[in-house]
């Protein structure tokens, strides 16, 4: 429910409407007392999607802000659905790269537009 309303950076649709994320792409595993591992596997609309890293960043930021419990978060591109999935997976799961990306005012503004709930 948290990620279904994230908007695509290029289109007026949500990631759920574009089937970039579905309920079946989310896994939650208990890894300790009151601590969970959340794994998201998303599917870009095309194998060469230039915004796949940005979509992964939006998923991470939205979940970090909204999950009401302690968690470890892993976000991946669904296997075989993007031409540079390994590189993108490394970027969106690297805390330092994510922090650096969110320091960029232009990128931060795009992420905010994508993750802000519609009225």
Residues 6+ apart with CB under 8 A from 37: 27, 28, 29, 30, 31, 71, 72, 74
Structurally, the chain folds into a number of domains equal to 1
Question: What pTM does this model have?
Answer: 0.93
In a domain, 7, yes or no: no
CB 44 within 8 A of CB 92: no
Residue 119 has pLDDT above 80, yes or no: no
Whether 55 is covered by a domain: the verdict is yes
Residue 79 lies in a domain: yes
For residue 72, give both structure tokens. Answer: 């470890």
What's the rounded Cα separation, in Å, for the pair 2 and 115?
A: 10
Cα–Cα distance, 30 to 89 (Å, whole number): 22
Question: Does residue 15 belong to any structural domain of this protein?
Answer: no
Q: CATH number of the domain at 34, please.
A: 3.30.300.130
Q: 63 in a domain, yes or no?
A: yes
Render pLDDT for 3-36 as a digit per residue (tens, 0 to 9).
999 999 999 999 999 999 999 999 999 998 989 9
Task: Please give the average per-residue pLDDT across 85-94, as a whole number.
Answer: 95
Mean pLDDT, rounded, for 99-119: 92
Per the domain annotation, does 5 fall within a domain?
Answer: no
Domain that holds residue 55: 21-112
Contacts of 15 (CB under 8 A, 6+ apart): 3, 4, 6, 7, 8, 21, 42, 55, 58, 59
What does the angle CA 65 – CA 69 – CA 73 come to, to the nearest 5 degrees? 65
| b/e burial code for range 65-90 (CB count within 10 A of at least 16 → b) | eeeeeebebebbbeeebbeebeebbe
Whether 62 maps to a domain, the answer reads yes
**Does residue 2 belong to any structural domain of this protein?**
no
């Amino acid at each position: 429910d948290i990620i279904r309303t994230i908007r695509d950076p290029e289109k007026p649709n949500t990631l759920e409407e574009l089937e970039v994320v579905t309920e079946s792409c989310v896994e939650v595993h208990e890894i300790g007392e009151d601590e969970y591992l959340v794994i998201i596997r998303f599917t870009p609309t095309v194998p060469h999607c230039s915004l796949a890293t940005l979509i992964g960043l939006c998923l991470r930021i939205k979940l970090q802000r909204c999950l009401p419990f302690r968690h470890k978060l892993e976000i991946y591109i669904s296997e075989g659905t993007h031409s540079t999935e390994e590189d993108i997976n490394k970027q969106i799961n690297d805390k330092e790269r994510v922090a650096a990306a969110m320091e960029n005012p232009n990128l931060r503004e795009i992420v905010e537009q994508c993750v802000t709930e519609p009225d």
